[in-house]
Amino acid sequence: MSSRSMPSGYLRSVLHNGVGRYVCQLQRLTLKFCKERDGSRGMRELVESNLVDFANKNPGIAIYLQPRRHRAPKLYAEYLNGQVDSIDCSSYSSEEIRVWMEYLRTRSGNPIVRLKRQWHTTSPSVQGVWHPFLNKPSQLNITLLPNEELSRALAPPSATEELLRMAANMKLVGEEEDKSGRRE
């Protein structure tokens, strides 16, 4: 499939979904199948065994069964935003259909599009784009590189270095006490 055949757009999400509480975007799931056709065997097995469990776990989703004579089995998903998706389930096992139902349940309902850019904002910043040297001193612009001062590591001292520094301080304090004690 070429990139021109897929519509392009910006990444979108359902407005504030998950802030406060999550709202499942799948509104209605319709299972259409044939009672006799061999290609609908997986759909019939799903209806007999796993559909009640799925309905109990997802009470916010309306599930409809539509037996149709001599037609291929299909899953129709209707979302809160009005988007309708359908999946042809011919010769799928009940486990594969259950995986597709879970996929449809977790989707937002927004159409799948090729991204124009990796980022997008509806309110661009008037301050400009951030870059690594944004809050650095302007002297870096005229400094000749490589510079010894800028090449030093800015990491805090390690635990070993800190212990050695503390031991040296204690040694100096001990020597000063010895000198002051001998004079008296």
> How many CA atoms within 13 Å lie on the side-chain side of 166?
7
What's the whole-number mean pLDDT along residues 29-50? 94
Strands (E) across 45-157 are located at 62-67, 74-79, 84-88, 114-115
Instruction: Name which residue leads in pLDDT, 69 or 130.
Output: 69
- Answer yes or no: are the C-beta atoms of 63 and 135 closer than 8 Å: no
Residue 135: band (very low, low, confident or very high) from pLDDT cuts 50, 70, 90? confident
One-letter amino acid of 18 = G
Distance CA 5, CA 116 (A): 14
